[in-house]
Amino acid sequence: MHYHGFLVINKPPGLTSHQVVAELRKILSMKRIGHTGTLDPAATGTLVVALGIGTKLIPYLQEEKKTYLAQLVLGITTDTQDITGEVIAVHPETRVGRAQLAQALQKFTGPLEQIPPMFSAVKLNGQPLYKLAREGKTVPRKTRAIYIHDLQIQGRSVDYYKYKKGPELLVVCSKGTYIRTLCHDLGEYLGCGACMGSLVRLASGTFTIKQASSLEEVTVAEQNNTIENLLVSPVQALNHLETVILNQKEEKRVSHGNSITATDCQGELGKAVTADGRLIAILKKQMTESGLYWQPVKVLSTI
């Protein structure tokens, strides 16, 4: 059976996002599967996986904000900027006061410029940086604009944080933010060095870890023919887009890529849904001399 929609997977540690997709292809016996945003192998948590026609809808998902729970390890700097890397420097005398850390977190909240780490999938001339890093090479990287919406200490606060110690940080950030780079940069700012310990992605846009299933749970659901109970449908996943319910004539026009008249549309994009609830296209609002129209920009096979 082929499925269409999205699975929210609670990624286990030790697997790459690509390996999770490979496992799902085996479990579900289908090839058309892809993830919507990479998690590092050591990280766990919310990994959104698109199935079937869902793969065509990835650009239209609302995943701009990501939420993480990250362990800040003070006094240690590594080449990968996380605890799995080779240690570059240590500061056993590290002692960071609660007020000092709070001030640093405030400094790193809002719009920031971030340099992607060498151990990352960012490409330079078509080659991932991590391949160059494994060869011991370091190359200049362009900064990228990110936004930290919220950055705060989670759990019990203490007067001082010492070597190898540090709080868990709740981070709400823009898509494309490297949390291990954030930890590294915090360490530089504090003057003691730091790296990231554990990392859990709690949410990717509207998809949350509470919705997530393990690979084992997906396997059982496939055996019991209950995968549909775990799926987020394409219509649900695009809940943030305006819904345009089509009549039979409009359905035929849209399915052939033709525009339809629009009335009182609120957003720039909409989703074309048939009377029986099937998603058949993504629409874009267009104003012409003859009026307002919805133009299909992505026509889907019948779901």
- pLDDT category, 302, cuts 50, 70, 90? low
Please give the average per-residue pLDDT across 152-158, as a whole number.
Answer: 89
Q: Could you confirm whether 79 is annotated as catalytic?
A: no
Tens-place pLDDT, residues 204-244:
999 999 999 999 999 999 999 999 999 999 999 999 999 99
Local structure of 204: helix, strand or coil: strand
pLDDT of residue 240: 93
Within 10 Å of residue 166's Cβ, how many Cβ atoms?
28
Annotated catalytic residue: which of 40, 82, 150, 159? 40
More confident position, 21 or 266: 21
Structural domains in the chain? 5-63+205-235 (3.30.2350.10), 65-204 (3.30.2350.10), 241-299 (2.30.130.10)
CA angle 86, 88, 89 (to 5 degrees): 135
pLDDT of residue 301: 72
pLDDT of residue 277: 93
Residue 27 contacts residue 218 (beta carbons within 8 Å): yes
pLDDT of residue 259: 94
Local structure of 23: helix, strand or coil: helix
Tens-place pLDDT, residues 125-142:
677 766 766 767 677 778
pLDDT of residue 129: 67
More confident position, 55 or 140: 55
- pLDDT category, 303, cuts 50, 70, 90? low
